[in-house]
Structure 1
Amino acid sequence: MSIALYRKYRPATFGEVRGQEHVTEPLRQALSNGRINHAYLFSGPRGCGKTSSARILARSLNCEKGPTPDPCGVCESCVALAPDGGGSIDVIEIDAASHGGVDDARDLRERAFFAPVNSRYKVYIIDEAHMVTREGFNALLKLVEEPPPHLKFVFATTEPEKVIGTIRSRTHHYPFRLIPPSTLRELMEQILTEEGVPFDPAALPLVVRAGAGSARDSLSILDQLLAGSDERGITREGAVSLLGYTDSGLLGEMVDALGARDGAAVFGLIDRMVEGGHDPRRFTADLLERVRDLVVLAAVPDALDKGLINVSPDAVEQMREQASRLGAAELTRAAEVLNKGLTEMRGATSPRLLLELMCSRILLPGTEGAGDPVALAARLDQMERRLAAGPVAAPAPAAAQRPAPVASEPQRPAPPPPAPPTPVEARPAAPEPAPETSRPPAAPTGGGWDRPVPDRAAQPPAPAPVPQRPAAPGAIDVGVLGGSWPQILEAVKRRRRFTWMILTGNDVQVVGVEGNIVQLGFERPNDAKGFSNSGSDQVVQGAIKDVLGVELRVTAVPLNGAAPQRPRSAPAPAPAPDPRPEPGGWDARPAPPSADRSDAQRPPTGPQEPVRPAAPSRPASADQGPPPPEEPDIPDPENDLDAEDAPPPSGFSLIESELGGKIIEEIDHTA
């Protein structure tokens, strides 16, 4: 019958204890100086040498040549307290997990006053001391505080904070630590050499990782591999299969697929892993370990030689290439996503689903919040690599099949001229804009109208179109805005929820970028006009600056080819036979109703009834006399809809549908 490796190779002296020199050296010095305390507290993780050190301390105290830091190993006490010895009647080990009550403490207190039988000291080793109840500790308190000269206590625990303070303050506390991986690897190589077992050096890092810094756990795993090995000894393939680790080749394929943004390959590898019977949690932990190695390798190219990573030397070149291709920012973000997802996997009923969601977040950096600095760094790193590889062609927008208007500088509307209304353009540089020569607009080539419509937004003059400025290398284009559109919407939502409701409720699209002007396309002209009049273009402009860090101006355009709408700062021109009014005011006489102008857009002239979207007319004011005769309805092919099918203004529909409100009256502050 074989003996377990952790028992067979248990240390017999302080010099054989591995990785705990910060504890063994002070104890050896205290034994040499004769300054021995009556009670000690050994704390630390499991399997790191606490109980073994307590036995070595008892052996050193009772050696015939002692107290000595180096027991002779031949006297009766040393032989009895050796790792394979039968034990001593004067060294008592108590498991507090089953003997931690007040009655056990009283029994120990009664027997402790008897002198040792054939040793110098009577030593009590209380293992798992944190399991002693408060009443039991209180029963031992007086004995621990003032013990007889022949009595020594050694408390060993993994949770020293559960030992009551009155006991802990009367002991010398020595905290044990996890054993370093290099020390464990040397220990296992030494044991395998003494056992005469062939082994693959690449298998030992897997055993060290599974042992997690515990010498007892590592030797137990090594004993299991040794028991199941054949004439080839311990191999890396056998260790991977037995310990359940993911194969290094599968991890390399997953990293390559994530770096190439190949979603089909990523989800195919996950399916292959699950079909192979692997645990998604273990796969996630192994992938996180591989990403960590890549992060270290990207920062320290010779990390393998310095012992910073534990991987096979054959895989280092491939990992260096992966680290340089993905970049430090992308690797760091992937590690954070995996670490957070691994925490969420604990107790999850569908770990595969969580793994797939984690991979999808890694594939799409844009899904993270705009305020995430790691995601922003990953996107910037990706853009820099694309620019370094060469010019990038912007993807065609979804609305490319429709005629997009040419962006122009923001315009201020001119006052209504005496003649019939025609589209005019006012330059912002003029202090008092004057009406230009009226000219009927040319009919569009397809789906347009054949005569001017009253009160329509001003069109840019045809003879002087604004020339398109070529975009500089690396400038913001439609592709960049489209990729960052989810973050821009989140920024808009934080600034102004009403603007966010307009953008999400009307399926707004980015139809073009000309210089520093961004064109947002709306399905209906009224939506574009309401968007500009409500000041939402300024909200979107600020959101783009928050996300992309550039100053861009936003204009709303209809997707059917209409020009950008007027800003909110000035009212739209209306037909009137009177001379031009004074700047900043309106004529006292009411303007005749327009075919495509709703009541919500007319300035109020007196007491009114509640305005409803479906009622285009309003009662005349009492002090203005009878209203002028209504103009005949001019059909508009663009807005020629039935009353029940005509879309209401964007603001009204959103308020009624999203907020459950009812529009009673709109007050125009420009009147």
Structure 2
Amino acid sequence: MSSLALYRRYRPETFAEVIGQEHVTDPLQQALRNNRVNHAYLFSGPRGCGKTTSARILARCLNCEKGPTPSPCGECRSCVDLARNGPGSIDVIEIDAASHGGVDDARELREKAFFGPAASRYKIYIIDEAHMVTPAGFNALLKVVEEPPEHLKFIFATTEPEKVIGTIRSRTHHYPFRLVPPGTLRDYLGEVCEREAIPVDGAVLPLVVRAGAGSVRDSMSVMDQLLAGAGADGVTYEMATALLGYTDGALLDSVVDAFAAGDGAAAFGVVDRVIEGGHDPRRFVTDLLERLRDLLILAAVPDAADKGLIDVPVDVLERMRAQAGALGPAELSRAADLVNTGLTEMRGATSPRLQLELICARVLLPAAYGDEAALLSRLDRLERGIAAGPGVNAPAAAAAPAAAPAPVPPPVAASPPSPPPAPQASQAPPPQAPAPTPAPQAPPPAQAPPPAPAPQPAAPPPTTRQPGAWPMGARPAAPARAEAARAPAPAATSGPDSSVVRHAWPQVLDTVKGKRRFTWILLSQNAQVIGADGGVLRLGFATPGARDSFANGGSEDVLRAALAETVGGQWRIETIVDPGGGAAQAMAAPPPRMAPAPAPARQAPASAPAPTPAPQAPARQATAPEPAPEPAPPPAPRAPAPPPVAVEDDMPEEDDPDLDDTALSGHELIVRELGATVIEEFHHE
């Protein structure tokens, strides 16, 4: 007994002992109970799944003295002869068709088949590897298989039923055998190890099942090899992986953790250990693909182990759950696709190590690809809060949040002279802007020329976006300067929404400019972002007239549409009067240059319809001292829709016909094209 192979010592003797083939054994047992046994059977299926064993069991059931019965007695002569280690029966003939598949062999079989059995009920021919019989041999057997004598039964066993000619196959009952499920096979191997009284590590059985690939005979042979080489401590996991050539689970854990952390040094270190350890790179890639498959299923089905979808020990299952959480489904799917493609490319490769390193590089660098899988992988990393880069991006992402909070709570909030660069909207005047006293020496406050530095706020986004790095909580520190200009503002603008709006404000103004120039001029010269939180944008205007003009002139809808296009979302806009903001300081600043010649052209239509601009030069000088008082409240009749104003005047005038919402506005035409300074504009209902 001890000299027999393991698969021979534990070969089933009844249909009840056959595992994983209930779809075949149950109908056969029922046919035996009903005494409706056919004269010819065809058993097909992969190797080692029980075809020949089931044929022998069927022969025992037919020739048992108490039969035909689904459960042989095991005591009669026929049952003893056909037992696991019995001598065999003269009435049950097994033929290997690989060496007896010719015409002469078929003729000899046909001549002997007509003789009755010697001591049993039936004469049974078991023809193994039936697909090896030649077409001529099958034709020679056709007549006897089609109309055999009553004492004759045929059982054909083959792995390729399609090679059995149709005339033979149509005269048999075909039973297809299948590979044994891994769970069933693992439990069966555990029972065999217990009966052998040799301790086996629980992590070894899945490796044996994997090596057997669903074949009971192959799995039993592998298990027999491991049991034969077991030491005092039995069969260990290290021994099994070394003997079977599988990759150690520690290597797989290391490379998967490296993929999750984006650590290229660790990943390529594992590749070096694989090569230096003498492992087959193709086997390593195969095992890695198997691990990624298990992680992908575990990420999609958290209780996959309980449902039998994956077959791993409990301790390994906990590690795999952590790995599945570190790698998102999109990244796992992309990594599995890349590993599968790389495994195909490794066939016949002259440098397997190079192919393995390329696979790791592709998995580690999703930003190097522009396909949908790479984008979803990067989004997975962003959602999980993991830096996409291996080691460079992580420190950058960690340093940015540390740098951003520093400028937010500066103690200089109470000192307004420091924030001259704060005007974010587009009012970036010279440093002497805080002093409002020089207003008398400035004939008109030039708000229009300063819009030229409007692109200045676009510089603050210094976020260094690496190809694989996605900005997380890090925000640039530039908006903090604008917050320092106002003492009460930091509490309202500390949220991330405020930073986003401040960074995008120049782009918002550009969008507004494309929609309506009047609104753009109003916002760029008189408005400033106070805060943004929860979908509410708060704007501060330098004067009440500018705020009323924004609220009553339809500019709010234009700004809301521009915010939706540039920043996204639906916004509600709140306006306040903020004379101390950057807009007011920009208005009080003296203009850097003067253009007296074009100015009378603007004053002429304001005072009289005379078309000649030259005679109106004295009027400009007469009205120059007016800006000094700068009365805040405008006249009551003109309150409905005053445009952006710098100083108020008592001189009524008609609306400028050049001021158009869609074309070049009159205000901008005068300021930008003629170089003049607008003192006052009025709109009448």
Indicate whether the TM-score tops 0.5.
Answer: yes
Within 5 A, what are the aligned runs for 1:467-478?
467=455
Within 5 A, what are the aligned runs for 1:192-591?
192-368=193-369, 370=371, 373-386=372-385, 464-467=452-455, 479=465, 515=507
Residues 198, 350 of structure 1: alpha-carbon distance in 2 compared, 3 angstrom cutoff: same
Q: Which amino acid aligns with 1:131?
A: M
- The SS at the match of 1:64 is coil
Residues 186, 464 of structure 1: alpha-carbon distance in 2 compared, 3 angstrom cutoff: same
Q: Equivalents in 2 of 1:367, 1:299: separation in Å?
A: 27
- The SS at the match of 1:179 is coil
Question: Match for residue 15 of structure 1?
Answer: 16
Question: Match for residue 65 of structure 1?
Answer: 66
Question: 1:115 and 2:116 equivalent?
Answer: yes
Q: Which amino acid aligns with 1:180?
A: P
The answer to whether the Cα contact below 8 Å between 1:94 and 1:126 also exists between their aligned partners in 2 is: yes
**Superposed displacement of residue 226, structure 1:** 0.9
The answer to whether the Cα contact below 8 Å between 1:207 and 1:218 also exists between their aligned partners in 2 is: yes
After superposition, the C-alpha distances for 1:562-585 in whole angstroms (9 at most, x for unaligned) are xxxxxxxxxxxxxxxxxxxxxxxx
Q: Equivalents in 2 of 1:391, 1:275: separation in Å?
A: 30
**Superposed displacement of residue 23, structure 1:** 0.5
- The SS at the match of 1:201 is coil
After superposition, the C-alpha distances for 1:100-139 in whole angstroms (9 at most, x for unaligned) are 2222222222222222222111111111111122222222
**Superposed displacement of residue 384, structure 1:** 3.1
Question: Match for residue 52 of structure 1?
Answer: 53
Within 5 A, what are the aligned runs for 1:171-186?
171-186=172-187
After superposition, the C-alpha distances for 1:442-479 in whole angstroms (9 at most, x for unaligned) are xxxxxxxxxxxxxxxxxxx997244367699xx99873
Higher radius of gyration, 1 or 2: 2
Q: Which amino acid aligns with 1:90?
A: D
The answer to whether the Cα contact below 8 Å between 2:40 and 2:171 also exists between their aligned partners in 1 is: yes
Q: Equivalents in 1 of 2:307, 2:160: separation in Å?
A: 34
Q: Equivalents in 2 of 1:159, 1:481: separation in Å?
A: 53
The answer to whether the Cα contact below 8 Å between 1:386 and 1:392 also exists between their aligned partners in 2 is: no
The answer to whether the Cα contact below 8 Å between 2:367 and 2:467 also exists between their aligned partners in 1 is: no
**Superposed displacement of residue 480, structure 1:** 7.1
Question: Which segment drifts farther, 238-247 or 380-389?
Answer: 380-389
Q: Equivalents in 2 of 1:23, 1:113: separation in Å?
A: 29
Specify every segment of 5 or more residues in structure 2 that has no aligned partner in the other structure, as ranges: 399-448, 471-502, 511-563, 567-685
Q: Equivalents in 1 of 2:130, 2:71: separation in Å?
A: 27
The answer to whether the Cα contact below 8 Å between 1:130 and 1:159 also exists between their aligned partners in 2 is: yes
Q: Which amino acid aligns with 2:202?
A: P
The answer to whether the Cα contact below 8 Å between 2:367 and 2:468 also exists between their aligned partners in 1 is: no
Question: Match for residue 588 of structure 1?
Answer: none
After superposition, the C-alpha distances for 1:397-440 in whole angstroms (9 at most, x for unaligned) are xxxxxxxxxxxxxxxxxxxxxxxxxxxxxxxxxxxxxxxxxxxx
Residues 317, 144 of structure 1: alpha-carbon distance in 2 compared, 3 angstrom cutoff: same
Specify every segment of 5 or more residues in structure 1 that has no aligned partner in the other structure, as ranges: 396-460, 485-511, 519-549, 553-671
Within 5 A, what are the aligned runs for 1:18-97?
18-97=19-98
After superposition, the C-alpha distances for 1:297-352 in whole angstroms (9 at most, x for unaligned) are 22233333444322232233332222111111101111122222223333434322
The answer to whether the Cα contact below 8 Å between 1:90 and 1:119 also exists between their aligned partners in 2 is: yes
After superposition, the C-alpha distances for 1:602-651 in whole angstroms (9 at most, x for unaligned) are xxxxxxxxxxxxxxxxxxxxxxxxxxxxxxxxxxxxxxxxxxxxxxxxxx
Q: Equivalents in 2 of 1:517, 1:351: separation in Å?
A: 56
The answer to whether the Cα contact below 8 Å between 1:125 and 1:154 also exists between their aligned partners in 2 is: yes
Task: Report the TM-score when normalising by structure 1.
Answer: 0.59
**Superposed displacement of residue 68, structure 1:** 0.8
Residues 517, 322 of structure 1: alpha-carbon distance in 2 compared, 3 angstrom cutoff: farther
Question: Which segment drifts farther, 190-199 or 148-157?
Answer: 190-199
Q: Equivalents in 2 of 1:238, 1:393: separation in Å?
A: 44
Q: Equivalents in 2 of 1:481, 1:247: separation in Å?
A: 34
**Superposed displacement of residue 482, structure 1:** 8.9
Question: Match for residue 166 of structure 1?
Answer: 167
Q: Equivalents in 1 of 2:361, 2:509: separation in Å?
A: 33
**Superposed displacement of residue 90, structure 1:** 1.3
Q: Equivalents in 1 of 2:34, 2:509: separation in Å?
A: 83
Question: Which segment drifts farther, 156-165 or 312-321?
Answer: 312-321
After superposition, the C-alpha distances for 1:357-400 in whole angstroms (9 at most, x for unaligned) are 21111112244463xx43332233233334999999799xxxxx
- The SS at the match of 1:376 is helix
Question: Which segment drifts farther, 73-82 or 346-355?
Answer: 346-355
- The SS at the match of 2:124 is strand
Q: Which amino acid aligns with 1:128?
A: E
Question: Match for residue 505 of structure 1?
Answer: none
Q: Equivalents in 2 of 1:24, 1:551: separation in Å?
A: 69
After superposition, the C-alpha distances for 1:155-193 in whole angstroms (9 at most, x for unaligned) are 111111222222212111111111112211221222222
The answer to whether the Cα contact below 8 Å between 2:185 and 2:216 also exists between their aligned partners in 1 is: yes
The answer to whether the Cα contact below 8 Å between 1:394 and 1:478 also exists between their aligned partners in 2 is: no
Identity, % of aligned pairs?
A: 68
- The SS at the match of 1:479 is coil
The answer to whether the Cα contact below 8 Å between 2:252 and 2:288 also exists between their aligned partners in 1 is: yes
Q: Equivalents in 2 of 1:47, 1:264: separation in Å?
A: 44
The answer to whether the Cα contact below 8 Å between 2:123 and 2:151 also exists between their aligned partners in 1 is: yes
After superposition, the C-alpha distances for 1:477-507 in whole angstroms (9 at most, x for unaligned) are 87378989xxxxxxxxxxxxxxxxxxxxxxx
Residues 480, 195 of structure 1: alpha-carbon distance in 2 compared, 3 angstrom cutoff: closer
The answer to whether the Cα contact below 8 Å between 1:469 and 1:515 also exists between their aligned partners in 2 is: no
Q: Which amino acid aligns with 2:109?
A: L
The answer to whether the Cα contact below 8 Å between 1:96 and 1:128 also exists between their aligned partners in 2 is: yes
Q: Equivalents in 2 of 1:93, 1:161: separation in Å?
A: 22
Matched residues, number: 427
Q: Which amino acid aligns with 1:173?
A: H
Question: Match for residue 142 of structure 1?
Answer: 143
